[in-house]
């Protein structure tokens, strides 16, 4: 089996799914238990693990899941393909909801009543609500009342409101401290408050609200001797006066903000900083300036890796170029473990120059942009149609005598080697 992706799965059963007025789904009632799932897990094994935790009949129930990049759409979990999507598109945990057939009407009936509330029409309660306990009805009543007020005042809930439940409670696990810090930042963005760390280490995390005497506090401890953190203390209630709420300014961290826009960059690589500013203002109520560019760079780094890490692949890259295209020249130099120079001349370029180009070479250079700058050197020939034909390229630190001499020496060696009968 392929267990390279192993995540924690929260399974909810015994309750019902209700769509809130902001379009997000919430599971009300029942109980939750956890199981571990992995990439390649069979659907039969998945259901058997659930049946070990709950005394239910899968023939009378239906499973659903929600992907984090589209939390307003609920999807059915019916076969191995759906299970693979759940695991592949989740990070450190996933939530699966089990709804019995008798409660399926409640899911569907809640949709039209939500739309009724948005149009500020008289409240209509479904028959399934009347059969549930008072707590469920109260929650639905409060939700509809809030929606009615929103319709009257043209208030639109922020997208960041869904981050209020980035941490579900005591027992919630994270694969490392960095994931825990990201969740704390998302909660502050959704709850519109500032926080500070009392302890900030991979083994012990303690966070509290910045407002004095506010009871909000979350602590997490490492599980055994590994990097996994489990939430220990979870006090998710604030006690702020209006003055504190108005004076609270959210901290915008480029490192944490990159987590918020990471999914957008995966689908839209040309996501511009000015669009990030607009989306942060519209979705989260936070104004950005120059930090939008830093958020973009950090998001790209999370997806594609840091630019400095790519230099570690140079030995492998040169080896593969020579292996795949015999006759290719690919060499690099380093100083004290740091990259210095790179020379590449593909075999097909060498053969094309020797067989179909004029025996004249033109050399040129241009400056490189990016975090490490440098210069790109090139040797170019002209073919029979006066078209430019690249022979070799070099990447060096700058245009100086030593780098030019090294590059031309490589070109001379190339010509001497391949022009000899």
Give residue-wise pLDDT tens across range 247-264.
Answer: 566 777 777 777 777 777
Residue 52 token pair = 């070990």
C-alpha closest to that of 118 among 145, 93, 81, 91: 145
Residue 346 token pair = 């593909």
- Exposed e or buried b per residue across 295-322, where buried means at least 16 C-beta atoms within 10 angstroms of its C-beta: bbbbbbebeeeeeeeebeeeeeebeebe
Q: Name the DSSP letter for residue 383.
A: B
Alpha helices (H) in 235-338, listed in sequence order: 242-247, 254-267, 273-284, 291-304, 307-310, 314-324
205-244 pLDDT, tens per residue?
899 988 888 888 999 988 887 888 888 888 888 887 766 6
Distance separating alpha carbons of residues 18 and 48, to the nearest angstrom:
26
Q: CB count, 10 Å around CB of 206?
A: 17
SS3 letters for 255-274? Answer: HHHHHHHHHHHHHCCCCCHH
Residue 2's pLDDT is 46
- Is 234 exposed, middle or buried, given 0-12, 13-18 or 19+ CB atoms closer than 10 A? middle
50 pLDDT band, cuts 50/70/90, is confident
| Residue 264, C-beta contacts closer than 8 angstroms, at least 6 positions apart | 271, 279
Report percent pLDDT > 90 for the chain: 16
246 pLDDT band, cuts 50/70/90, is low
Q: CB count, 10 Å around CB of 218?
A: 24
Residue 138 token pair = 């109260």
Question: Among the ranges 111-125, 232-246, 400-414, which has the highest mean pLDDT value?
Answer: 400-414
Average pLDDT value for the chain: 77
Checking DSSP bridges between strand 329-335 and strand 229-235, what pairing results, if any? unpaired
Coil, helix or strand at residue 276: helix
CA dihedral 390, 392, 395, 399 (to 10 degrees): -80
Please provide residue 289's backbone torsions phi and psi, each rounded to the nearest 5 degrees.
-125, -110
Residue 374 token pair = 């440098």
* This prediction's pTM: 0.46
Instruction: Tally helices (H) and strands (E) across the chain.
Output: 14, 15
| Residue 257, C-beta contacts closer than 8 angstroms, at least 6 positions apart | 280, 288, 291, 295, 298
CA dihedral 199, 201, 203, 206 (to 10 degrees): 20
- Across-strand partners of 334? 339
182-213 pLDDT, tens per residue?
888 888 877 778 888 888 888 898 999 888 88
């Amino acid at each position: 089996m392929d267990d390279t992706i192993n995540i924690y799965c929260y399974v909810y059963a015994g309750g019902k799914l209700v769509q809130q007025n902001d379009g997000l789904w919430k599971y009300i009632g029942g109980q939750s238990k956890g199981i571990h799932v992995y990439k390649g897990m069979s659907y039969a094994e998945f259901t058997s693990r659930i049946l070990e935790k709950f005394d239910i009949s899968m023939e009378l129930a239906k499973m659903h899941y929600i992907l984090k990049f589209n939390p307003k759409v609920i999807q059915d979990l019916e076969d191995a393909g759906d299970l693979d999507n759940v695991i592949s598109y989740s990070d450190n945990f996933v939530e699966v909801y089990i709804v019995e057939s008798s409660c399926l009407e409640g899911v569907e009936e809640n949709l039209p009543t939500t739309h009724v509330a948005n149009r500020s029409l008289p409240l209509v309660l479904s028959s399934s609500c009347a059969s549930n306990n008072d707590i469920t009805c109260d929650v639905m009543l409060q939700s509809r009342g809030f929606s009615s007020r929103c319709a009257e005042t043209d208030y639109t809930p922020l997208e960041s409101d869904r981050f209020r439940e980035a941490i579900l409670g005591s027992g919630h696990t994270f694969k490392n401290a960095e994931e825990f810090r990201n969740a704390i930042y998302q909660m502050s963005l959704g709850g519109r408050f500032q926080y500070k760390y009392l302890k900030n280490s991979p083994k012990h995390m303690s966070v509290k609200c910045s407002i004095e005497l506010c009871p909000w506090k979350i602590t997490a401890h490492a599980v055994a001797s590994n990097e996994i953190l489990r939430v220990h203390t979870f006090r998710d209630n604030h006690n702020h006066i209006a003055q504190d709420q108005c004076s609270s300014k959210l901290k915008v961290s480029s490192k944490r903000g990159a987590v918020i826009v990471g999914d957008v960059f995966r689908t839209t690589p040309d996501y511009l900083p000015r669009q990030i500013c607009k989306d942060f203002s519209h979705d989260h109520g936070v104004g950005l300036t120059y930090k939008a560019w830093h958020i973009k760079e950090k998001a790209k780094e999370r997806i594609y890796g840091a630019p400095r890490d790519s230099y570690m692949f140079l030995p492998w890259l040169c080896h593969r170029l020579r292996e795949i295209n015999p006759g290719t020249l690919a060499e690099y130099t380093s100083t004290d473990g740091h990259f210095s120079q790179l020379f590449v001349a593909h075999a097909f370029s060498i053969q094309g120059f020797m067989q179909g180009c004029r025996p004249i070479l033109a050399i040129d250079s241009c400056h490189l942009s990016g975090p490490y700058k440098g210069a790109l050197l090139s040797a170019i020939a002209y073919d029979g149609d006066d078209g430019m034909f690249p022979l070799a390229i070099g990447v060096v630190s700058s245009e100086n005598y030593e780098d030019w001499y090294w590059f031309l020496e490589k070109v001379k060696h190339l010509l001497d080697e391949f022009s000899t009968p």
